[in-house]
Every structure is written in structure tokens, then in C-alpha cells.
């Protein structure tokens, strides 16, 4: 690969580098005839302007970093696809920051903004991924940044969220309406804000229905299918078993259904299962999974749109966008059989 620079094109077409640059980025400033000469040289050589040269000069990278715990996760994958789509439209490239749930890797990606390698950052973990000087106000230290999925605990951060607590209440109301009273919860890691909020919703719904919260019915998983399987095994060992299980992710619900099948329980005949997310595979399970849908596509799109505004120095950008969840009733939940 032979690298060709703006100077080569300038020489080849007999104009200055400045004119080459103008031809490529602001062609209206250049006469038709020189434009033609320049474009000929560009086409012949396959010249592409070096973005680092341009970025160094303009102080803009046209990159965006996305920090996510795990790209393999369907929820994250759906969101990032929407982001990528929106970013490309606006001329931005996406730097992938898969932290693999490794907190130290947060700052590795966060530094990309600090070091000018990216103009903005999208954060799907509950932490600000760069070092903050505690002596100075946070507001002044924040680059263009939007947070989603797991809320960062700061009012200065722009967010696109769903009402996790309300989503959980919807799931519970569905199970309660079906007559269930012994309803277990398979939650995510205790420190995740999404799990905290959904657990609040779980408890709120029970209390409002006049049902006491039974801590043996609350099992902790890690949002992955295997942990849902194990959580379900624990619940099945209980002397008094739940008749319905609210899993805080579809993956855990899928794992739970696998455990139930393994031990010959019928879903929803013996136990109803409801998930959270509505990933593609939810509707491909047997029985098809009832769940609370998150508008993943919209979340990604909105995040990127807000970030775009922030990077453009736009004033009055939405600080807090809340998107609706929706109960999707399928086959994995059914009336209590007594």
C-alpha cells in the first residue's frame, strides 16, 4: 500500500495543497476547471485525506466511543446497531468499548475522549469512565456524554432511560391479575441501578396487593441465562414453591425455563415465567416468552442524537429522556391453577 498525501495530489494536478483541500471539502469555492484537474488526480491515485491530519488541525475526531459491559448480549447488540446507524449518517465512526464487565477497562475507553480520540462518549455502565477531579465542579469536567441502561448517579449527566420500576410493576401486575400470589424474583447484580429499581417495583406491586415480601423468593443472578437456570433450581428446592417467577432479564427467564423443563415442570402450567427486555429470542422460545419490552432501537437512536447535539455545542439539549416500556403477553405466563 502506497500512501498518497495532499501534496502528491497538489503536485499531480498543478495546484496548491490548499486548493486540493478546498476541492474536497468545499468544492463551491473552487473553479470548475481546477476542480476537474484535482478530481482527476484524486481518482487516479485513490487518494483519501488522512483523518489524523485533519483532526489535528480541526480538533475534531469524528469518532464516538461506546462503553458497554458485553457486546454479546442481545440488548447491547441491538442498541449499538442503532447507534452505529445514526452515527454513520452523521459522519461519525464508532469505537467499540466492550468492558467485559471489567471495571478497569472503563477508564481505558473513557480516556479516548480525554485524549481527543473521540469527540463524545456513550456510557451503558453506571460509572463515569474517567477520572474526575473532586475539587472542581463535575459539570465543567464532562465531555459530551450520554448515559443509558444503567444510570449514573449524577444529575449533570444526560440520560436516556426507561422507568425500570414501572416496568417491573407492569410485569408484577400481569402476574397478580393471573391470580398468582407466590411470585419469585430473579434479579441482576445488586449494585446495578436497573436491578435496584426493578426490585423496588417488585416489592411495591406485592405490597400494594397486600402480599408480604418473602426474601427467600428473591434470588440474585447476573442477567445471563446460566444464572437464571441456577436461580430457578434454588427456587424449586423451596418447601413452598413460587407459582410465578419474574426474571429481570429475558436471558435469565430463558435460563429459568430451561431449568423448569429439565425438572419436568410445565410452563406456564406449573410455573409462569416473565422476562424483561424483549430480545429477539424471547418470541422464539417454546413457550414464547412473556416479557416487558425495552425500546432498544429507540434507546440507541436517541442516545446518539443527543450526543450529536452535545458535540455540536447545542444549547438546551434534553437532560433526561424517558422511553416507555410495554408488557408483551405471550405464552410463558398463565392463570394460577389451584
Partner DNA sequence: CTGAAAGCGCTTACAG
- Residue ranges in contact with its own copies by CB under 8 A: 1-3, 46, 48-53, 55-56, 59, 61, 63, 66, 70-72, 74, 77-78, 80-81, 84-85, 88, 93-96, 98, 100, 105, 108, 111-117, 130-131, 133, 140-143, 225, 254-255, 257-258, 261, 280-281, 284-286
Per the DSSP assignment, residues forming a β-bridge with 202 are: none
Q: Closest distance between its own copies and the C-beta of residue 230, in Å?
A: 14
The option from DNA, its own copies, none interacting with 281 (CB < 5 to 8 A, set by class) reads its own copies
The option from DNA, its own copies, none interacting with 29 (CB < 5 to 8 A, set by class) reads DNA
Based on the shown chain and the rule CB under 7 A, indicate whether residue 131 belongs to the binding site for DNA.
no
The answer to whether the beta carbons of residues 222 and 187 sit under 8 Å apart is: no
Strands 183-187 and 158-162: unpaired
Q: Closest distance between DNA and the C-beta of residue 39, in Å?
A: 12
In what helix (H) or strand (E) does residue 220 lie, and over which residues does it extend?
A: strand 218-220
The option from its own copies, DNA, none interacting with 17 (CB < 5 to 8 A, set by class) reads DNA
Q: Identify the residue among 1, 43, 46, 59 touching DNA (CB under 7 A).
A: 59
Cα distance between the two ends of the chain: 73
Q: Crossing angle of helices 250-262/225-237, nearest 10°?
A: 50
Q: Identify the residue among 2, 11, 12, 33 touching DNA (CB under 7 A).
A: 33
Sheet holding 272-277, edge to edge: 218-220, 183-187, 244-247, 272-277, 290-293, 326-328
Based on the shown chain and the rule CB under 7 A, indicate whether residue 21 belongs to the binding site for DNA.
yes
Based on the shown chain and the rule CB under 7 A, indicate whether residue 24 belongs to the binding site for DNA.
yes
The distance from CA 280 to its chain's CA centroid, rounded to whole angstroms, is 15
The answer to whether the beta carbons of residues 67 and 101 sit under 8 Å apart is: no
The answer to whether the beta carbons of residues 122 and 307 sit under 8 Å apart is: yes
Measured distance CA(106)–CA(123) in Å, rounded: 9
**Which is closer to DNA, CB of 10 or CB of 292?**
10
The option from DNA, its own copies, none interacting with 18 (CB < 5 to 8 A, set by class) reads DNA
**Which is closer to its own copies, CB of 183 or CB of 260?**
260
The option from DNA, its own copies, none interacting with 95 (CB < 5 to 8 A, set by class) reads its own copies
CA dihedral 105, 106, 108, 114 (to 10 degrees): 180
**Which is closer to its own copies, CB of 31 or CB of 131?**
131
Helix segments in 90-158, DSSP class H:
104-114, 138-141
Q: Closest distance between DNA and the C-beta of residue 43, in Å?
A: 15
Q: Closest distance between its own copies and the C-beta of residue 278, in Å?
A: 14
* Residue in the structure block whose three cell numbers are 448517579: 153
Strands 120-123 and 272-277: unpaired
Binding residues for DNA, per CB under 7 A? 3, 5-7, 14-22, 24-26, 28-35, 47-50, 52-54, 56-59, 115-116
Amino acid at each position: 500500500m502506497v500512501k498518497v498525501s495532499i501534496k502528491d495530489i497538489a503536485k499531480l494536478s498543478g495546484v496548491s495543497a490548499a486548493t486540493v483541500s478546498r476541492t474536497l471539502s468545499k468544492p463551491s469555492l473552487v473553479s470548475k476547471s481546477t476542480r476537474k484537474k484535482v478530481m482527476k488526480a484524486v481518482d487516479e491515485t485513490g487518494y483519501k485525506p488522512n483523518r489524523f491530519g485533519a483532526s489535528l488541525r480541526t480538533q475534531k475526531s469524528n469518532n464516538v466511543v461506546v462503553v458497554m459491559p458485553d457486546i454479546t448480549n442481545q440488548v447491547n447488540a441491538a442498541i449499538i446497531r442503532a447507534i452505529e446507524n445514526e452515527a454513520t449518517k452523521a459522519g461519525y465512526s464508532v469505537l467499540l468499548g466492550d468492558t467485559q464487565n471489567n471495571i478497569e477497562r472503563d477508564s481505558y475507553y473513557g480516556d479516548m475522549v480525554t485524549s481527543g480520540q473521540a469527540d463524545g462518549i456513550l456510557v451503558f455502565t453506571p460509572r463515569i469512565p474517567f477520572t474526575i477531579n473532586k475539587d472542581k465542579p463535575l459539570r465543567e469536567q464532562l465531555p459530551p456524554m450520554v448515559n443509558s441502561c444503567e444510570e449514573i448517579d449524577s444529575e449533570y449527566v444526560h440520560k436516556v432511560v426507561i422507568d425500570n420500576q414501572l416496568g417491573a410493576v407492569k410485569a408484577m401486575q400481569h402476574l397478580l391479575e393471573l391470580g398468582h400470589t407466590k411470585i419469585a424474583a430473579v434479579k441482576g447484580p445488586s449494585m446495578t441501578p436497573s436491578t435496584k429499581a426493578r426490585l423496588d417495583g417488585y416489592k411495591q406491586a406485592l405490597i400494594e396487593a397486600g402480599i408480604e415480601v418473602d426474601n427467600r423468593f428473591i434470588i440474585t443472578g447476573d442477567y445471563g441465562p446460566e444464572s437464571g437456570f441456577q436461580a430457578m433450581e434454588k427456587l424449586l428446592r423451596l418447601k413452598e414453591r413460587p407459582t410465578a417467577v419474574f426474571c429481570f432479564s429475558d436471558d435469565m427467564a430463558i435460563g429459568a425455563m430451561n431449568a423448569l423443563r429439565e425438572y419436568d415442570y410445565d410452563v406456564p402450567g406449573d410455573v409462569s415465567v416473565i422476562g424483561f427486555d424483549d430480545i429477539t429470542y424471547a418470541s422464539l422460545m417454546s413457550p414464547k416468552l412473556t416479557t416487558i419490552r425495552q425500546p432498544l432501537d429507540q434507546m440507541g437512536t436517541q442516545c446518539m442524537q443527543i450526543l450529536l447535539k452535545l458535540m455540536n455545542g447545542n444549547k438546551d439539549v434534553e437532560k433526561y429522556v424517558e422511553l416507555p416500556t410495554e408488557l408483551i403477553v405471550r405464552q410463558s405466563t398463565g392463570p394460577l391453577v389451584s
